[in-house]
Amino acid sequence: MKDFRIEQETKGNIQIVRLTGSLDMYSFPRLETQLNTHLQQGHYAILLDCKDLDYIGSAGLGALIGFAKQAREKGGDVKLLNVPERIYKIIELLGFTKVLQVHTDESAALASFTAH
């Protein structure tokens, strides 16, 4: 199992957060802190790149809904990019794809923040 890592990148006014490893109850507080910091700093457009994510737990998914809701209230959103098939199945199983946008292409994902 890979260690959980968070890497940051900014493109325009969009924060790209690249995740590696397992996003579970043990590691989620680190992402939570990062997302809270972004929202407090007025960064409401956040793209989570999940390409190297091995696992996501139920609490993590639930919390992402809350962050997306907060970001949308300020005109932004929290969206997912490059979700591995195994994780996508979990997200889809519970209908989270209806409340969290999932993209497979980074350029399209970035463009979607300014499209609405």
Q: What is the contact surface with another protein in residues (CB under 8 A)?
A: 1, 22, 24-26, 57-59, 61-63, 65-66, 69, 93-95, 99
Shortest CB 1 distance to another protein, Å: 8
Shortest CB 14 distance to another protein, Å: 23
What DSSP assignment string belongs to 36-97?
HHHHHTT--EEEEEEEEEEEE-HHHHHHHHHHHHHHHHTT-EEEEES--HHHHHHHHHTTGG
Which of 66, 75 has the CB closer to another protein? 66
Which of 29, 75 has the CB closer to another protein? 29
Shortest CB 57 distance to another protein, Å: 4
User: Degrees (nearest 5) of the Cα angle 109, 107, 110?
Assistant: 40
Which of 34, 106 has the CB closer to another protein? 34
